[in-house]
Structure 1
């Protein structure tokens, strides 16, 4: 079957659901992944054919059902690295790359420091940090065994050593983690989307990505931040740093939370979309 015919089918089926350029992007990503054919290859020979068209047509059906292309392919890119993803993990976002960059800028590049990533999911934060801070000892915690299985695969894929911990940060008090290890940096991108904000989200996110990693109760939107901050007070070394990705609407509340727990040098930072997306504090 000729690829130009498949492309026409993509537009016929997907144009009512997605913008034109998004449909083009889906098509070119898939022909590169499945057939090693680039956009340039197709432009140079518009009559290119593929034999196993079932692969891309199955992907088309999944796209029609609003399944994210990252889940269709089973992988995505984050911070220049490849990560496997599935229904147990959130799809890493560009905003979280900014959080990683912020941590790396503040970290001591040549020191043997301990870093903990709480709610690691696919492992994208912990693994990206470990890849860039070769002397750091990186730990990654998640309540989901499915997420940790995927994160472990991603650590092997990207050739880094991570100490993975299956714990619930809401119930970690007096655990072995809470007693035995002190950290120089704690970083987290915990669940922060309030249930009332669901209506603002795209259907492909709501219907596919794990709600455990996304949503919090409207009445207690800082539940995870409070637990992590209390844990950080007990388990950060002197001058240790606490970094969060946050809900863009709760920046003031986050500043107050860190102040109440005696963090200093608090800094609220906007992402590339000019939204309050990150915050850090130092514990002395």
Structure 2
């Protein structure tokens, strides 16, 4: 089968599920992942003959796309802050707004030396690893409740040659942190159950509930606990950074301020308040 025939098959069988431009994006991502051929290579050689092994890879990927499985889970990797990260069903796929959070931290601390940084909620490791790569002298630790997430994050640390201290920990059951930090950062679960109806199928069906959802009646549970720990474990003048629920931005800011922090909200590129920085006074 020729590559052009596979492209047509993707368009025909996915047309009722996705826009044509998105189908094209899926096809070119998979073509590069499976064969190493970039978009320009496909344009120059559309009649490239697929081996049986390659044809089967495309067929399997097509069936997974029909079930709205994220393309990143199909390829097994994604890009974050210009670097490659492995992903699987045990972790959330890193989002652009999380890159913006990392960018804010890097911008604030690029000239600082010997920072002690704690990331809470490791996931793929995209936040602590990116910070280590950008703030080379920083000492970075990270906690997650999921052993599967930590296992994957360790692989990503090796892949990116980043030295990170990993620990398995349930932050909600933690009474005290055993070190003092200059920075604590977290992208905790913050999607309320009532918001599920507005979410895309690929997220609802495939990404881990543990990393996404909180109860409607206590949506800020993680922010409250982490801020409480940060109050005792941040050095004077230390900073707490959060990715936040845009619909609860003012409530989150108020909560942090009630613990005696000076808080600042920041908008993402779409104009939504998705980040918060709090300084320990």
Could you tell me the TM-score, scaled by structure 2's length? 0.98
Q: 2:153 maps to which residue?
A: 151
Structure 1 residues 1-284: aligned runs within 5 Å: 1-51=1-51, 52=53, 53-174=55-176, 178=177, 180-264=178-262, 266-284=263-281
Higher mean Cα deviation, 192-201 or 41-50?
41-50
For residues 111 and 91 of structure 2, what CA distance do their matches in structure 1 show? Answer: 29
1:45 Cα shift?
A: 2.1
For residues 74 and 48 of structure 1, what CA distance do their matches in structure 2 show? Answer: 24
For residues 94 and 139 of structure 1, what CA distance do their matches in structure 2 show? Answer: 22
**Unpaired runs of at least 5, structure 1:** none
How many correspondences in the alignment? 279
**Unpaired runs of at least 5, structure 2:** none
1:36 Cα shift?
A: 1.1
Checking the alignment, whether the CA contact within 8 Å between 1:35 and 1:50 is kept in structure 2 is no
SS of residue in 2 equivalent to 1:91: coil
1:113 Cα shift?
A: 1.0
- Residues 244-281 of structure 1: per-residue CA shift (max 9 Å, x gap): 000000111011111101102x2100101111100111
1:108 Cα shift?
A: 4.9
SS of residue in 1 equivalent to 2:172: helix
Checking the alignment, whether the CA contact within 8 Å between 1:182 and 1:236 is kept in structure 2 is yes
SS of residue in 2 equivalent to 1:249: helix
